[in-house]
Amino acid sequence: MSNIAERKEKNCLNCNATVHGRYCHVCGQENTEPREKFGHMLTHFVFDLFHFDGKFFRTMKYLLVKPGFMAQEHLRGRRMDYLHPIRLYIFTSAFFFLFFFMVSPGKVDVNIGKKLSDTASIAQSDSASAEILKLDENFSSVKEYDSIQQRLPREKQDGYIVRKLQQQNLILKDKYPSRKEMMNKVFDVFTHQFPKMLFVSLPLFSFLLFLLYARKKNYYYVDHVVFTLHFYSTVFILIFLAICLNMLLDWTGFYEIHGKEGKNYLKGAIGSGYLSLLVGFYWYRSLRNFYGQSRRKTIVKFGLQLFINLFLFSLLFLLFFLFSFMII
């Protein structure tokens, strides 16, 4: 509450509703004098700043040390002391990707970057790139390719998707002097599609939870979305901390004392192995704490969700990789 004088009039200046008390029950605006001194304005700013910081740090603390707790609090209706799940996701994802794309590739362990996805997804995108590399082996231009396709019987002509990929590949062949430069550009665009891909995956991740816990009638789809928003936000934070740890150890020269092989091993372990175990453990504990099922049921559903998500993310990776190839 601010120390600005309260108006004697009881009509809200914002919505004109009758005010009972200091705040309007319709729009929430404080019924204070519209003109305020600079000192009052500064005090109000400081109050709002620390009020946000209090919510932010409280949310971060429980998000990291109590898996599933934040989603439980939201489900119980205890929301005033924490950041809203959507605001939390937008803030953490925006901050993470801004940081990730600002830091030069030489300072970020590529293993951590790859942990934005899973190994199967990377394999899918690699196989997709390999197929694209083979597309133009027998053609020198789009005109030649189209001409040959038109002379073939309809049943032997390439399908719509293959034809578009082939044409785009031939266009890029003329645009970029080397195949390596072309594929580097594709992967650069593809990397910048990560935020969109994760956003698309969010409702799919939630829907899978909805199916796995369909017998728990007290959970609605939106409750699974809240759980997913908190989980994704935590993954962003954990990857960010892992990147910072790797950069700190590299900067202090810690890796160098272990030699080249030891350095690569330690970076890989901290960047992928330990991080994967930490995210997996947090994922399992979140499911256990939020849905309240036994250890055995939670392990089974965690395994099913992990397996199905490997497939879904592989599919999303392939689609976004092809999309990146078509838009460069």
Lowest mean pLDDT among 189-193, 223-227, 232-236: 189-193
pLDDT of residue 165: 86
What are the DSSP calls for 9-37, one per residue?
Answer: S-B-TTT-PBP-SSB-TTT--B-B-S---
Q: Is the pLDDT of residue 23 over 60?
A: yes
pLDDT of residue 41: 63
Measured CA to CA, the distance from residue 197 to residue 202 in angstroms comes to 9
Q: Is the pLDDT of residue 38 over 70?
A: no
pLDDT of residue 117: 42
DSSP-derived letter for residue 6 is: B
Measured CA to CA, the distance from residue 291 to residue 287 in angstroms comes to 6
135 close to 163: Cβ distance less than 8 angstroms: no
Nearest of 117, 91, 71 to residue 239 by alpha carbon: 117
Q: In the predicted model, what is the mean pLDDT of residues 114-142?
A: 53
The model's confidence at residue 88, banded by pLDDT at 50, 70 and 90, is: very high
Q: Is the pLDDT of residue 106 over 60?
A: no
SS3 137: coil
The model's confidence at residue 113, banded by pLDDT at 50, 70 and 90, is: very low
226 close to 71: Cβ distance less than 8 angstroms: yes
- Mean pLDDT score across all residues of the chain: 80
Q: Is the pLDDT of residue 68 over 80?
A: yes
Q: In the predicted model, what is the mean pLDDT of residues 90-104?
A: 85
| Every domain of the chain and the residues it spans | 1-33, 62-119+190-327, 121-184
Q: Is the pLDDT of residue 291 over 70?
A: yes
Measured CA to CA, the distance from residue 110 to residue 172 in angstroms comes to 26
Q: In the predicted model, what is the mean pLDDT of residues 159-175?
A: 84
Instruction: Give 255-279 pLDDT, tens digit per residue.
Output: 566 555 444 544 554 456 778 889 9
Q: Is the pLDDT of residue 176 over 60?
A: yes
Helical H segments across the chain, by residue range: 38-65, 69-76, 85-102, 110-114, 119-134, 142-151, 160-175, 179-191, 194-212, 221-251, 259-268, 274-291, 295-327
pLDDT of residue 104: 54
Lowest mean pLDDT among 3-12, 168-177, 254-263: 254-263
CA geometry: angle 78, 83, 87, nearest 5 deg: 130
